[in-house]
């Protein structure tokens, strides 16, 4: 039996199910206890598991992330919440220099099974310190995995896999996704990390995206279908591991590639993805691959300005049309 649940509830359910079967899992973060997290992702868990497993932390990001790493080194499996990804910059030493490297620099004799959950993205007027998309920082660091689900179903299955994984995982949610609903089976399912999902099949162009931008790509694709263009929308679900095969086989079918992401374009997510796939798709492309990312700017407060920075559904539609029309013209 499927049930309809929000993205936020799906996260909570994943935490609850995993905590109920493994008492080495503890949660740490700001306002996650009685409050249940400012986005409700741990609602009810403090009451169910108590303060020793659902730990409110002081506002000391670097040190409580480091403490989670130390706990992971010594037998626990902490899941840490960083309230806004913007605050993760305070914990970069522990994430980049410790969590990502401990296994390697100690010759493989240690592991750091930790999940750092956070949320990012704009669209709500939270301005420059509460709206960023910083995932590419973590893609750059060997030793980390980067997971970014776009639906309640994916969020639950990927979070359960992340918690069971023995590596350090940056699990990035999006603030505009928490209230979306989706259907989730009652069964105890997981989704392997590094498997993309084709959210909409199509014939004409491969649109590769992740997190909330998948929703915009799907809306854009629906309106383009009315105009006779059939985009295939690929939700990567994780940036590392990156499902290169799914992108390649899609482009072999469509012969066009658009990568859409919310983070800044400069040295960005799109450049990273393109570098990974280009040697394998080059001969199959009928047009230059295009990256549509956020403009290279801090996120402004005003609705008008913010909307200009983050790729919109309209911009995706126009970009796809331009790619396809150029092709028609060139023919």
Per CB under 8 A, residues contacting another protein are 26, 52, 57-58, 60, 62-76, 78, 93-94, 97-98, 102-111, 142-143, 145, 165-167, 192-195, 241-246
* Cα 94-96-97 angle, rounded to 5 deg: 70
Tell me how far, at minimum, the Cβ of 109 lies from another protein, in Å: 6
Name the nearest CA neighbour of 139 among 286, 270, 35: 270
Concerning whether 130 is annotated as a catalytic residue, the answer is: yes
Instruction: Compute how many other C-beta atoms are within 10 angstroms of the C-beta atom of residue 139.
Output: 19
Assess contact for 164 and 119: CB atoms under 8 A: no
* Residue closer to another protein (CB basis): 279 or 288: 279
Joined tokens for residue 183: 């259907």
Query: Least separation, in Å, of the C-beta of 199 and another protein?
Result: 17
The CB-of-189 to another protein minimum distance in angstroms stands at 18
Nearest-approach distance from CB 276 to another protein, in angstroms: 9
The residue among 5 and 98 lying less far from another protein, judged by its C-beta, is 98
**Active-site residue, selected from the candidate residues 9, 30, 61, 232:** 61
- In the bound state with another protein, the residue whose beta carbon lies nearer, of 35 and 60, is 60
* Residue 191 near residue 148 (C-beta atoms within 8 A): no
- Nearer to another protein (CB atom), residue 86 or residue 243: 243
Q: Which is nearer to another protein, 165 or 204 (CB)?
A: 165
d(Cα 19, Cα 57) in Å, to the nearest integer? 19
Q: How far apart are CA 82 and CA 305, in angstroms?
A: 27
Question: What contacts 43, CB < 8 A, 6 or more positions away?
Answer: 12, 36, 37
Nearer to another protein by Cβ, of 73 and 221: the residue is 73
Q: Are 172 and 147 in contact (CB under 8 A)?
A: yes
Output the smallest distance, CB 235 to another protein, in A: 14
Q: Which of 18, 81, 130, 256 is catalytic?
A: 130
Angle between helices 152-164 and 7-21 (to 10 degrees): 30
Concatenating the DSSP letter of every residue in 83-147 gives SSGGGGGGGHIIIIIIITTHHHHTTT------EEEEEE--SSS--TTS----HHHHHTSTTEEEE
CB of 330 to another protein, least distance (A): 31
DSSP character at residue 284:
G
- Nearest to another protein of 4, 51 (CB atom): 51
Pairwise CA distance, residues 69 & 77, whole Å: 9
Minimum distance from residue 196 beta carbon to another protein (Å): 8
Specify the 3-state DSSP secondary structure of 184: strand
As given in the structure block, the two tokens for residue 180 are 């979306």
Look up 225 and say whether it is catalytic.
no
Annotated active-site positions, please?
61, 130
């Amino acid at each position: 039996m499927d049930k309809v649940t929000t993205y936020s509830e799906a996260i909570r359910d994943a935490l609850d199910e995993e905590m109920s079967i493994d008492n080495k899992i503890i949660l740490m973060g700001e306002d996650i206890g009685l409050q249940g997290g400012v986005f409700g992702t741990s609602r009810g868990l403090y009451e169910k598991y108590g303060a020793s497993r659902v730990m409110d932390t002081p506002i000391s990001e670097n040190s409580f992330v480091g403490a989670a790493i130390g706990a992971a080194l010594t037998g626990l499996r902490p899941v840490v919440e960083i309230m806004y990804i913007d605050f993760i910059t305070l914990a970069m030493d522990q994430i980049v220099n410790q969590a990502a490297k401990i296994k390697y620099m100690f010759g493989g004799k240690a592991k750091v099974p930790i999940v750092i959950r956070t949320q990012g993205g704009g669209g709500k007027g939270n301005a420059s310190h509460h709206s960023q998309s910083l995932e590419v920082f973590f893609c750059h660091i060997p030793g980390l995995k980067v997971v970014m689900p776009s639906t309640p179903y994916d969020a639950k299955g990927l979070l359960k896999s992340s918690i069971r994984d023995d590596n350090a995982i940056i699990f990035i949610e999006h603030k505009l996704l928490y209230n979306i609903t989706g259907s989730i089976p009652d069964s105890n399912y997981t989704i392997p990390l590094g498997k993309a999902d084709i959210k909409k099949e199509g014939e004409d162009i491969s649109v590769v995206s992740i997190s909330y931008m998948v929703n915009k790509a799907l809306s854009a694709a629906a309106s383009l279908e009315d105009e006779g263009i059939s985009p295939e929308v690929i939700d990567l679900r994780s940036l590392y591991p990156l499902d290169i095969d799914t992108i390649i086989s899609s482009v072999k079918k469509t012969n066009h590639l658009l990568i859409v992401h919310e983070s800044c374009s400069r040295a960005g997510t799109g450049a990273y993805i393109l570098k990974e796939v280009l040697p394998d798709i080059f001969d199959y492309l009928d047009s230059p691959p295009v990256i549509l990312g956020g403009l290279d700017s801090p996120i402004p407060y005003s609705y008008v300005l913010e909307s200009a920075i983050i790729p919109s559904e309209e911009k995706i539609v126009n970009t796809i049309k331009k790619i396809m029309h150029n092709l028609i013209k060139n023919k």
